[in-house]
Amino acid sequence: MAEHTPHPDDPTEQEPQNAIENHGIIGDMRSAALVADTGSIDFCCWPDFDSPSIFTALLDTPDAGIFQLAPILPDARRQQLYLPETNVLMTRWIAKDAVVEVTDLMPIASEVDNLPRLIRRIHVRHGQTAVRMRCRVRHDYSRADTTAQMDGEDIRFDAEGQPAMRLAATTQLTLEGHAAAAEFEMKQGDVVEFMLGGADDPLVKATNCDCDLKNTVNFWQHWSRHSNYRGRWREVVNRSALALKLLTSRKHGGIVAAATFGLPEEEGGERNWDYRYTWIRDASFTVYAFMRLGYTEEANAFMHWVRERMGDCCEDANKLGILYALDGREELPEEELDHLSGYGGASPVRIGNEAYKQTQLDIYGELLDAVYLANKYGEAISHEGWKHVTRLVNDLCETWNSKDVGIWEMRGDDQHFLHSRLMCWVALDRALRLSLKRSLPAPFERWDQARQAIHDDIWENFWDADLGHFVQHKGSKNLDASMLLMPLVRFVGASDPKWLKTLDAIERALVRDGMVFRYRNDDDYHDGLGGEEGAFVACSFWYVECLARAGRVEQAHLEFEQLLRYANPLGLYAEEFDAHGHHLGNTPQALSHLALISAASFLDRKLEGSQTLWQP
């Protein structure tokens, strides 16, 4: 096998990692891949969201696995866009003498158990160009010795104990070491196609690409057009909805928090986590977003997924986990991938997530709010489902006054966090509302007494009269952006004077150009990790919605428009922003996009009813 010789003008040979925000995402609701605007797929786990990665260049170098496809046009301008109302991605090179497009997709399989396939289609729209393709599969997070060999006209990738893969193409493929390669000339109108999938999958045929493309476009457009949002930010909201749908398991109904692991919350820092799992909290919030847009089927599917988890709890409600693998696994031990250098040198790169061992009392509130909304707009709760809810809420009546790690999964000492207390109140409130709405049996007096006790505890122990605002946890002087949910879950009126003082305090302490930090580490409380993190995207959109609900509509409108400018060119958001508004953390982040949908929906209604002109 010939050794690979780099081409000095070949964009597929560039070693530097692509920035987080320079990526689009494609997927089939079983797996997903990140596609950089250089034409490289540099992150993909296969065959499932939480399977070991096959392309991990984003967290190391191309040697860790990459699928490069690009014209050799070093001076071209590059752009990315999605085909309208779809998750089919197009990357374009615009040069003086050529215009070239690469279309990337994962076709939606006819059966949920079918293996995912990656399709890459390069088309010369104008002029002519040389093109280079290189596909280096590295199984098991780049730990396995993956070999490549010819398999007829295709190339097969094998590693011991890992699922074999096969690359097919409509052009001649060659071997370069243990990578597949192709170099060819193209002129206007030419199309070359590549398909990567399971080695024994009969659907892996490059000649199927055109049909797969049409069917996939039809699927996404049909789904998109069921949205009931007709507001002024329709394209932005639709893109967020498509991102959320992409992160939803078609087979199981669970929703992953993000498609990636190991992307840092601080440049070069240690805050690097694996988000390829379903958090009860994040997924419950996602149900709100789907319901708001009229997607009841997705909400119902998640409720079925939750019911399976709750059913597994038997008679011990404390066993309701904080997060799960999509197939229901609860134990997700962390492991450090020391052989990977990390994105921008951020290490360690972790897989798994030890948060499954933590106590987070707020999950009951998010879950019960989702159950309440799903009953209001979707399927009525079943008899067994209500028994599970009753068991959970009865247990919460005994445990709401306990310490926990809070919504942000602090790795410091457990505390009595305001947000956890707030969401315990939500759990009891929604359970009472649901029981009355559906005439379901419940220990009303006990639940009502607990709800009142939590309400009084929040006002007595988390309102600091000297500071004039609520505080992060009992005995603290700090602020926390999770307080922004207080009016959104209807615990406090959005224009209550004490809430407005808290909102003003958050604005002074945690907001920078519309970007909101979750909290500040100081001597009063530390989250147990070194360094600092960026501003949190979801909190930034919660802040916009709080402003709008408080009647500060013009300010909310301006802040929202500024936040929209921090999206990547495709309208996608990671978890956090750095000081320059660049993206940090795992991407795309479900929590970021569902918070955008909520803010856009409410702000649009407020603007429709407002006649006030903005003034500087």
Q: Which residues pair with 192 in a beta bridge?
A: 122
- Round to whole Å and give the CA distance between 188 and 395: 68
Confidence at residue 524, expressed as pLDDT on a 0 to 100 scale: 55
pLDDT at 1 over 70: no
Say which residue, 320 or 34, is predicted with more confidence: 34
Give the mean pLDDT of 305-310. Answer: 79
Q: Encoding tokens for residue 376?
A: 């209001």
- C-alpha count within 13 angstroms, C-beta hemisphere, residue 521: 13
Q: Which residues pair with 148 in a beta bridge?
A: 157
Confidence at residue 305, expressed as pLDDT on a 0 to 100 scale: 85
pLDDT at 287 over 90: no
pLDDT at 528 over 70: no
- C-alpha count within 13 angstroms, C-beta hemisphere, residue 151: 20
**Mean pLDDT of all residues belonging to the chain:** 92
Residues 437-470 as b/e (b if ≥16 CB within 10 A, e otherwise) read eeebebeeeebeebbebbbebbeeebbeeeeebb
Domains of the chain and any CATH numbers: 11-214 (2.70.98.10), 234-609 (1.50.10.10)
Confidence at residue 103, expressed as pLDDT on a 0 to 100 scale: 98
When pLDDT is cut at 50, 70 and 90, the band that residue 58 belongs to is: very high
Confidence at residue 7, expressed as pLDDT on a 0 to 100 scale: 47
Phi and psi, residue 161, nearest 5°? 80, 5
Confidence at residue 267, expressed as pLDDT on a 0 to 100 scale: 86
pLDDT at 129 over 50: yes
Running DSSP on this structure, what letter comes out for residue 459?
Answer: H
pLDDT at 505 over 90: yes
pLDDT at 526 over 60: no
**Ordered DSSP codes for 468-497:** TEE-SBTT-----GGGGHHHHTTSS-TT-H
Confidence at residue 303, expressed as pLDDT on a 0 to 100 scale: 83
Q: Over the stretch 423-433, which tens digit does the pLDDT of each residue have?
A: 999 999 999 99
- Round to whole Å and give the CA distance between 11 and 132: 9
- C-alpha count within 13 angstroms, C-beta hemisphere, residue 117: 31
- pLDDT over 90, % of the chain: 80
Confidence at residue 18, expressed as pLDDT on a 0 to 100 scale: 95
Cβ(545)–Cβ(603) under 8 Å?
yes
pLDDT at 5 over 70: no
pLDDT at 85 over 60: yes
- Round to whole Å and give the CA distance between 242 and 234: 12
Q: Residues near 605 by Cβ (< 8 Å), separated by ≥ 6?
A: 231
Type of residue found at 283: A
CA–CA distances in Å: residue 133 to residues 2, 23, 98: 15, 18, 18
pLDDT at 545 over 60: yes
Cβ(323)–Cβ(355) under 8 Å?
yes
When pLDDT is cut at 50, 70 and 90, the band that residue 314 belongs to is: very low
Confidence at residue 415, expressed as pLDDT on a 0 to 100 scale: 94
- Among 9, 166, 21, 150, smallest CA distance to 585 is for 21
- pLDDT over 70, % of the chain: 93
- Among 217, 345, 349, 241, smallest CA distance to 290 is for 241
- Round to whole Å and give the CA distance between 582 and 263: 13
Q: Over the stretch 321-330, which tens digit does the pLDDT of each residue have?
A: 899 998 889 8
Burial of 147: CB neighbours in 10 Å, binned 0-12, 13-18, 19+: middle
Cβ(344)–Cβ(268) under 8 Å?
yes
Q: Over the stretch 529-543, which tens digit does the pLDDT of each residue have?
A: 666 789 999 999 999
- Provide the 10 A C-beta neighbour count for residue 185: 10
Q: Poorest-confidence range of 1-15, 197-211, 231-245, 458-472?
A: 1-15
Confidence at residue 525, expressed as pLDDT on a 0 to 100 scale: 52
Return the HEC string of 132-196. Answer: EEEEECCHHHHCCCCEEEEECCEEEEECCCCCCEEEEECCCCEEECCEEEEEEEEECCCEEEEEE
Instruction: Round the CA-based radius of gyration of the chain to a whole number and report it.
Output: 25
Confidence at residue 56, expressed as pLDDT on a 0 to 100 scale: 98
Confidence at residue 527, expressed as pLDDT on a 0 to 100 scale: 57
pLDDT at 392 over 70: yes
pLDDT at 311 over 90: no
Q: Encoding tokens for residue 164?
A: 């074999």
**Token pair 């922003």 in the structure block, residue:** 577
pLDDT at 368 over 50: yes
